[in-house]
Chain A
Amino acid sequence: MSDAQTPAADHADTPVLGTGYAGKARSRGSFSAFIYLAGPVGVLLLFFAGPLGILALYSFQERSRTGDGSWTISNYVNALRPQYVETALNTLVIAVLSMVLLLVIAYPLAYLLAFKVGRWEVPLLLALALSDELNPLIRIYAWRTVLGRNGLVNTVLTQLRLIDQPLDWLIFTKFAVVVVLTASWLPYAVIPLYAAMKTIDRRVLEAARDLGAGWWTTFRSVVFPLTAAGFLATIVIVFIPIISDFAAPALVGGTSGRMLASVTEDLFLGRGEWGIGSALTFVLLAASGLVVWFSYKLTDLSRLATHR
């Protein structure tokens, strides 16, 4: 086995547990890895780290229309002023509400898809994945016809005589933004949960039921712990885009549903304040990072370290 002449000698004897298979001598691994990774990492360093780096750089410089690039910390000071803080809190409220609503819908949906729909599983999955690619920009306009004063919901409710006056608060409010964001990100929230659920053995669920557990108990003590990785993936994949969305607030948010990303977009494009815009962007990123970290803590750490 250790004969230096045969190709079989190229790999070490003991594979490493829990990290996929990798039977390579360390130095050889590093060299091959370098060759393989040169392209991807190179591209990322240049066209991903570069842009983020410039943003970070500008956030510490005077970069308004007449800015000269001198170093300053005022961008961050500006980014933390009351007006922005208020918008930030608004954003947080909307994002958290959307996230909660998403989870409330996504968990049952993932469960249904994983266990209860039989041969419809793949078509429904496909439909789910496709739904995001349809009419992406104009879709939000359609929500106005649903939530508007003379829209679908109001018309139906009026016909059913449940209300006399159209409901005003369905649109141009935080409510509308939450609804639109939830609808937009549902597919991305469901898929990681679905994937995690597929790993649960049906018999465990049946056992729970046989032992008399109701749905909440089953969820709390069986489903949630076993799908913790999916939960974290969902949060990471969905929370950050939600907190940085500016299309939904712009079209259905009115004046009370404004979010931080609208402000950032405004700063960059409307006011040419590249410095403050960059600072605010990083504040946003930091906030997202905090949420991700918090969710990471919420799920069991050791579960994630050893990828099954």
Chain B
Amino acid sequence: MTTGSSVALGSTARGRLSLAFRTVFLAFVGFVLFGPVVILAVFSLNDSIILGFPFKGATTSWYVQAFREPNIWASLWTSLKVAAVVTPVSLLLGLTSAIALTRFRFRLRGTITAFVALPLVIPWLVIGVGSLLFFSATDIPLGLFTIGVSHVVIAFPLATALLSAQLYRLEPHLHEAALDLGATEREALRLVVLPLLVPTLAASAIFVFSWSFNNFIVSFFTAGFENTFPIWVFSTLRRARDLPMVNAISTLVSVVQVIVVVGAWQALRRVMDRRGQDIREIVIGS
């Protein structure tokens, strides 16, 4: 538990001012982060194709229209399929690279670390365009495979980073103790290290899945026939008459995502609490 500030808030003028200032600041940040989304949600119920005041009247017709649009469900399904494959692959690559980079010593370690970290800092526009040119030059047809592969490239380094951070923090002696007690390398990994990594793996899974599902820029360039949901959103935005419907379904998908992620996070937290770990370690470890 963190110790509180030595000056009890609210009991002095300065404390009250500080609290007020703090609240205003947080409210401002809250508006900046969530204001647009809330505004969009409000307008998704507006009986007008104009995304602006005045508010014409409430209606759920845009949601109804969205439900009836087959392209939406096809693209959502595609996004889900891609994310569902990309996530385990990214986790596997992330795990193996994290283990290798933190546990073994070899000459190229620094270089390879930098290399694996590179996709995190190269702009997605560059990766997207480069991938398009690459697939074109190598005659690889654009489609779910190319989308998936490009997602894996940008996402697994994130898993590597999160897992490496956690591996650094793990008591080295646990691993050595296991070996001393007669475990083989693989047993030590499987029975000691891996179980300790489960929370971080779960958290990585959440992040990677979100990144893949919501990804637009890279997918835009590497997609073939089948659209992912963000691509469908982008290509339908151009038609004014469809803007409210796009808004409606996009808002709905966001709400579902919030529910799912919060739910997953809560479950993860409960698991970690039972193990006596702090869920914040996942973030702080980096």
**Footprint of B on A, CB under 8 Å?**
6-8, 10-11, 15-16, 19-24, 26, 29-30, 32-33, 36-37, 39-41, 43-44, 47-48, 50-55, 58, 105, 108-109, 112, 115-116, 118, 121-122, 125-128, 130-131, 133-146, 148, 150-152, 155, 182-183, 186-187, 191-192, 194-195, 198-199, 202, 206, 233, 236-237, 240-241, 243-244, 246, 261, 264-265, 268, 274, 277, 281, 284-285, 288, 292, 307
In contact, A40 and B160 (Cβ under 8 angstroms):
yes
Q: Is B254 an interface residue (CB 8 A)?
A: yes
In the assembled complex, how far is the CB of residue A70 from the closest CB belonging to chain B, in whole angstroms?
16
Across the A-B interface, the 3 shortest Cβ-Cβ residue pairs: A21-B172, A51-B130, A142-B36
Query: Which of B129, B138, B261 has its CB near the most chain A CB atoms (within 10 A)?
Result: B129
Asked, given contacts A20-B168, A47-B150, A51-B133, whether A136 binds B214 with beta carbons under 8 Å apart, the answer is: yes
Query: Which of A41, A109, A128 has its CB near the most chain B CB atoms (within 10 A)?
Result: A41
* Chain A residues with CB below 8 A from B251, complex form: 135
Total inter-chain residue pairs, C-beta < 8 Å: 270
Q: Which of B35, B109, B134 contacts A51 (CB 8 A)?
A: B134
Q: Which of B32, B94, B152, B234 contacts A186 (CB 8 A)?
A: B32
In the assembled complex, how far is the CB of residue A184 from the closest CB belonging to chain B, in whole angstroms?
9
In contact, A16 and B105 (Cβ under 8 angstroms):
yes
In contact, A148 and B184 (Cβ under 8 angstroms):
no
In contact, B131 and A44 (Cβ under 8 angstroms):
no
Q: Is B61 an interface residue (CB 8 A)?
A: no
Q: Is B79 an interface residue (CB 8 A)?
A: no
In the assembled complex, how far is the CB of residue A238 from the closest CB belonging to chain B, in whole angstroms?
10
Chain B contact patch, size range? 35 or more
* Chain A residues with CB below 8 A from B138, complex form: 50
In contact, A47 and B52 (Cβ under 8 angstroms):
no
Q: Is B182 an interface residue (CB 8 A)?
A: yes
Query: Which of B5, B122, B243 has its CB near the most chain A CB atoms (within 10 A)?
Result: B122
Asked, given contacts A54-B133, A115-B2, A246-B125, whether A150 binds B168 with beta carbons under 8 Å apart, the answer is: no
Q: Would you mind naming 18 contact pairs between A and B with Cβ atoms under 8 Å apart?
A: A29-B105, A47-B153, A51-B133, A130-B258, A133-B254, A133-B257, A133-B261, A137-B233, A137-B234, A138-B250, A145-B51, A148-B52, A183-B36, A186-B29, A195-B284, A195-B286, A206-B6, A307-B168
* Chain A residues with CB below 8 A from B247, complex form: 135, 138
In contact, A20 and B103 (Cβ under 8 angstroms):
yes
Chain A, residue nearest B9 (CB)? A116
Q: Is B39 an interface residue (CB 8 A)?
A: yes
Chain A, residue nearest B28 (CB)? A105
* Chain B residues with CB below 8 A from A265, complex form: 125
In contact, B103 and A22 (Cβ under 8 angstroms):
yes
- B212-225 contact mask (Cβ, 8 Å, vs A): 1 or 0: 00101000000000
In contact, A20 and B172 (Cβ under 8 angstroms):
yes
Q: How far is the CA of A233 from the CA of B121 in the complex (A)?
A: 10
* Chain A residues with CB below 8 A from B160, complex form: 40
Asked, given contacts A51-B134, A191-B283, A244-B125, whether A41 binds B116 with beta carbons under 8 Å apart, the answer is: yes
Query: B64-72, B173-181, B194-202: which lies at the A interface?
Result: B173-181
Chain A, residue nearest B167 (CB)? A20
Chain B, residue nearest A141 (CB)? B51
Asked, given contacts A47-B149, A141-B40, A145-B53, whether A105 binds B127 with beta carbons under 8 Å apart, the answer is: no
In contact, A268 and B129 (Cβ under 8 angstroms):
yes
Chain A, residue nearest B117 (CB)? A236
In contact, B93 and A40 (Cβ under 8 angstroms):
yes
* Chain B residues with CB below 8 A from A50, complex form: 130, 134, 138
Q: Is B8 an interface residue (CB 8 A)?
A: no
* Chain B residues with CB below 8 A from A37, complex form: 96-97, 100-101, 112
In contact, B246 and A138 (Cβ under 8 angstroms):
yes
Q: How far is the CA of A262 from the CA of B57 in the complex (A)?
A: 37
Chain B, residue nearest A183 (CB)? B32
In the assembled complex, how far is the CB of residue A119 from the closest CB belonging to chain B, in whole angstroms?
10
In contact, A285 and B118 (Cβ under 8 angstroms):
no
Tell me which residues from 247 to 269 in chain B have a Cβ below 8 Å from any Cβ of chain A.
247, 250-251, 254, 257-258, 261-262, 265, 269
Q: Which of B25, B97, B243 contacts A36 (CB 8 A)?
A: B97
Query: Which of B33, B175, B180 has its CB near the most chain A CB atoms (within 10 A)?
Result: B33
Q: How far is the CA of A195 from the CA of B165 in the complex (A)?
A: 12
In contact, B39 and A108 (Cβ under 8 angstroms):
no
Q: Which of B92, B129, B265 contacts A126 (CB 8 A)?
A: B265
Q: Known contacts A24-B103, A52-B127, A187-B33; can you find 12 more A-B pairs with CB under 8 A?
A: A37-B97, A39-B96, A44-B153, A48-B118, A118-B2, A122-B279, A128-B33, A130-B258, A133-B254, A146-B36, A183-B32, A198-B280
In contact, B216 and A26 (Cβ under 8 angstroms):
no
* Chain B residues with CB below 8 A from A133, complex form: 210, 214, 254, 257, 261
* Chain A residues with CB below 8 A from B34, complex form: 127, 131, 134
* Chain B residues with CB below 8 A from A194, complex form: 283
Q: Is B3 an interface residue (CB 8 A)?
A: yes
Q: Is B183 an interface residue (CB 8 A)?
A: yes
In the assembled complex, how far is the CB of residue A113 from the closest CB belonging to chain B, in whole angstroms?
10
* Chain B residues with CB below 8 A from A33, complex form: 100, 104, 106, 109
In contact, B129 and A281 (Cβ under 8 angstroms):
yes
In the assembled complex, how far is the CB of residue B209 from the closest CB belonging to chain A, in whole angstroms?
10
Q: How far is the CA of A40 from the CA of B164 in the complex (A)?
A: 14
